[in-house]
Structure 1
């Protein structure tokens, strides 16, 4: 890696990160287009961001110890 030797990402890791981030942005865009009230938009976007954080941390450090993270 460019800045630190402690990160050892393969090309598949970069693809997975891209899919997760762009997928989250796409879902938020759909939420903003389809939902009518600010309250519903806010709730759905917060749920989406919470799922993003949970998936990202599970893939990074395996906080739940699931096979999804390679544990």
Structure 2
């Protein structure tokens, strides 16, 4: 059970560190300008994806299914992130 808790701690630590990158960048440049809402949305995306990855690692037994499902989750995360960042697809979701 501690291996699962260590893995969850690692996943959430990486998500937290990724969330700290724009905060640190905002201290050194004006090109990064995130609002509190941006941090909340990014946190939900990162911690939510991390939690779903942990859930799939705990419940899915075969390696092939794990790889496919986690790769699909990461692909969805990156597509949502890209749409929110620059509006690649031009959906109303990104404010277009």
Q: TM-score surpassing 0.5?
A: yes
- Shorter-chain TM-score bucket reads over 0.9
- State the 1:63 CA deviation: 0.1
Q: Distance in 2 between matches of 1:7 and 1:36?
A: 41
Q: Distance in 2 between matches of 1:43 and 1:57?
A: 21
2:81 pairs with one of 43, 56, 60: 56
Q: Which runs of 5+ in 2 are unaligned?
A: 1-25
2:72 is the counterpart of 1:47? yes
Compare the two structures and name the one with the higher helix fraction: 2
Q: Which has the higher contact order (CA 8 A, sep 6+)?
A: 2
| Ranges of 4+ aligned residues in structure 1 off by more than 3 Å | none
Note the residue ranges of structure 1 that are not aligned, 5 or more in a row.
none
Under a length normalisation based on structure 2, what TM-score does the superposition of the two structures give?
Answer: 0.71
Offset at residue 18 of structure 1 (A): 0.5
Deviation (angstroms), 1:59:
0.4
